[in-house]
Chains A and B, each alone.
Chain A
Amino acid sequence: MPNRDLDGNAPDYWKQKLDELAKRRADALEMGGIKNVQRQHDAGRLTIRERIDAISDTASFREIGSLAGTGEYDDNLEFKKLVPSTYVAGTGRINGRPVAIGGEDFTVRGGTSSGAQRRKGGQGGYIEDLAHHYKMPLINLIDGAGGSVTSAKRRGFVVFPGVDGFERSVELLGEVPVVSAVLGTAAGGPAGRAILSHFSVMVEGSSQIFAAGPPVVKRSLGQIITKEELGGPNVAVNKAGAIHNIASTEHDAFAQIRTFLSFMPQNVWELPPMLELNDPLDRCEDALLNMVPEKRTQPYDMREIIKLIVDKGSYFEIRSTYGKAIITALVRLGGKPVGIIANNPKIYGGAMDADAARKQIHFMELCDTFHIPLVFLVDVPGFMVGLKAESEGTLREGMRAVYVAGQLKIPTITVVIRKCYGMAGMATCNKKDIDLKLAWPSGEWGSLPVEGGVAAAFRRDIASADDPKVREKELEQEFREYSSPFRTAEALAVEEIIDPRETRPILCEYIALAEKRLKIGLGQRSRSGVAP
């Protein structure tokens, strides 16, 4: 071999090496080939590389593991072609801050798990280690159905469940923000991965999620159902609450994720980011005076109240179509991230049902984990009543909300807008600590409402009266006098009754003061005990 040196290297050694590197990289960028990419686009979906470009800051993506895949070689063992792995991963920036980002490449074997030596993404994948060790948010762009039976043939054996387990995924939930976008049909592992997120979103019309898809359902139960009926947003978001938000397009999903992350710290050891919105702290809105109707039986628009109070343009609602008796939103007050939990009087007068309780619990834990103070805007008549509510576990889920509320370490501020009754009311405030309880003059509270309460406590008195109905009204009137919020303020059992217009200035003041408390409390939350 005259053209080779003593090591056997060709004189154009570096050129050859770099050419092969370039060729392998170029192959990786082609993903599953022109036809498969076209098919992905025809289905109204972007490729994983387009998705990463769309969600991250321009040109900020740096790929890791780009050469992973299956090499094809000729008879002389010369490299011919690389079929890239089914997952694309790397680091990027969102709003200038680093993130770990990755997703299945559906154009390569439908994004099924690769069977490589080391997993790139999904549960137990390299991307999760990256987020864990560098303490940065993780973004999962999910478009795959997990394992394929065909991989057993390739390996020669079947894997034991949990070989690539969820341990790291679980660990991350206490460390860094984890967000998932479901961008295709997700089942099995990727579906589970999506659930283990702080925030998840799916695209209307082009994505579905379930534990198992229609073929398995047909085989197991004999039911014939489409994948959209089984796991489209109407089930997965509105009914099950499995995924948090619906997006109209993939770009909308990415915008929602970017907005969500703008409220989040990089990890639990840092404070959430300040963003000056130039909305005056002392802005007092006269419109707040007309929001609560005089008639106690009439609902009003709680979302309007929230928007009048918080920094303009900062309102980001999570799970607006699930557990609708509660409204959960990330907002800013004086530029600082704040979580809002508000009852929605338009749905069962704001009564807490099982779904609403689950929604409140998730949101409380989210804010507590990332050191985001909570503001409760309260109008809750109690737990939801009736056979349906009892059957759905309202009492247990509601008490779980009380339990989690009782363990919160972040500052919470309670503003009673109208009703605050019973055990559901207890899930909205920390009664004996330093956290503020404020009330509008329209506020009323108690362990149970006067109506019904009087009828139960004075049953014999009422029954023996000449006119029971008149007697009941008399008693109700008498007890209503005691329920004036001003009488409670006399006992400092609420710290302040405020003019509704003052709500923003007072909240801004206390959220600013909360910073020192938040700093001292930075780090991971440890939870103990057995939740009911």
Chain B
Amino acid sequence: MVIREVTSEVIGSVWKIERSVGDAVEEGDLIMILESMKMEIPVEAPVAGTLSEIKVVAEGSVEEDQVLCLIET
């Protein structure tokens, strides 16, 4: 079992979290949407697996390279 970190490519805030801990995700599934520079930045699952932890909350701010959630593969 491998834990894959999903990180933010941008500085901004969390707009919406679309999935919950325990959800099975496929590669490319939308997990959350960030907001930065007046744009919606979708965060997609880089691999298929189970969403094991979400490390941010809606409306919270995020930094570049910050870990947003973990996927167990």
Interface of A with B (CB < 8 Å)?
A: 295, 297-299, 324, 345-349, 351, 381, 384-386, 388, 449, 451
Nearest CB on B from A33, distance (A)? 42
Nearest CB on B from A372, distance (A)? 29
Q: Is B46 interfacial (CB 8 A cutoff)?
A: no
Contacts A324-B9, A386-B11: A346 and B38 contacting too (C-beta < 8 A)?
no
Residue in B closest to A299 when the chains form the complex, CB atoms: B39
Max count, chain A CB within 10 A of own CB: residue among B36, B38, B39, B41? B39
Nearest CB on A from B66, distance (A)? 13
Give the number of residues in B that approach A within 8 Å (Cβ atoms). 11
Q: Is B37 interfacial (CB 8 A cutoff)?
A: yes
In the bound complex, residues from chain B placing their C-beta under 8 Å from that of A384 are 37
Main secondary structure of the interface of B (DSSP, over half): loop
In addition to A298-B40, A349-B38, A388-B64, 13 A-B residue pairs with Cβ atoms within 8 Å of each other are A297-B40, A298-B39, A299-B40, A299-B42, A346-B9, A346-B41, A348-B10, A349-B36, A349-B39, A381-B38, A384-B37, A386-B11, A451-B38
Assembly CA distance A295 to B9 (angstroms): 21
Query: What are 19 A-B contacts defined by CB distance under 8 Å?
Result: A297-B38, A297-B39, A298-B40, A299-B41, A299-B42, A347-B10, A348-B10, A348-B37, A348-B39, A349-B37, A349-B38, A349-B39, A351-B37, A381-B37, A384-B37, A385-B37, A386-B11, A388-B11, A388-B64
Nearest CB on A from B15, distance (A)? 10
In the bound complex, residues from chain A placing their C-beta under 8 Å from that of B38 are 297, 349, 381, 449, 451
Assembly CA distance A297 to B40 (angstroms): 6
Interface string of B42-54 (1 = CB under 8 A from A): 1000000000000
In the bound complex, residues from chain B placing their C-beta under 8 Å from that of A451 are 38
In the bound complex, residues from chain A placing their C-beta under 8 Å from that of B64 are 388
Nearest CB on A from B40, distance (A)? 5
Max count, chain A CB within 10 A of own CB: residue among B9, B36, B38, B42? B38
Nearest CB on B from A254, distance (A)? 28
Residue in B closest to A385 when the chains form the complex, CB atoms: B37
In the bound complex, residues from chain A placing their C-beta under 8 Å from that of B40 are 295, 297-299
Assembly CA distance A237 to B9 (angstroms): 16
In the bound complex, residues from chain A placing their C-beta under 8 Å from that of B41 are 299, 346
